[in-house]
Amino acid sequence: MANLWMEADRYQIKGVPDRVKMNQLNNLLHDALIATEHVEKCAILDRKEKEQRAGSPGFLISKEQIVALQDAFKKCSIIRKEGICFEEKNYKCTRADKNSIYAKGLQSNEGLIATQTASLLIVASYTEKMFPSVCVEAVEKLTDYFREKGR
């Protein structure tokens, strides 16, 4: 049986391999976001380690892109004016604060949602055929779940 232990204010499960934890996060992403059919791609990122912890198939975010997202949360007023670039696409920012960034494509109706907790970044995108409001609601609910868990 796995034992809980605490290190640096983070609960971890001792004895459970990282690949099992990552699989659980991937399942959570699928159930909470992809299953809505209004999230195209999504990922959970570790803010401290600047690594991707889970993601939808084929959605890999580089360490440089993670750092850029973290910086965007620190420069909300700037990205509200200038927009944000993610995966070589430019987006107009429709909301930016210390917890959430919502952005819409300049050339299309696709968009990007990014939220953060104390230790995680959650990123999701939607296409023109998807409802942005459903994507936002799903991402914010998942973010609230992690906040309640102290993550």
Does 3 score more than 50 pLDDT? Answer: no
Which pLDDT band, with edges at 50, 70 and 90, does 23 fall under?
confident
Question: Is residue 10 scored above 80 in pLDDT?
Answer: no
Whether 94 is covered by a domain: the verdict is: yes
Does residue 55 lie in a domain region?
Answer: yes
Asked whether the beta carbons of 91 and 106 are under 8 A apart, the reply is yes
Q: Does 17 fall in a domain?
A: no
Q: Judge whether 20 lies within some domain.
A: no
Q: What is the pLDDT of residues 25-60, one digit of tens each?
A: 999 999 999 999 999 999 999 999 999 999 999 999
Listed in sequence order, the residues at least 6 apart from 47 whose beta carbon sits closer than 8 Å to its beta carbon are 70, 116, 118, 119, 120, 121
The total domain count for the chain is: 1
The enclosing domain of 93 has a CATH number of 3.30.450.30
Q: Please write the tens of the pLDDT for every residue from 62-117.
A: 999 999 999 999 999 999 999 999 999 999 999 999 999 999 999 899 999 999 99
Higher-confidence residue of 92 and 19: namely 92
Domain that holds residue 82: 38-148
- Considering the domain boundaries, does residue 124 fall inside one? yes
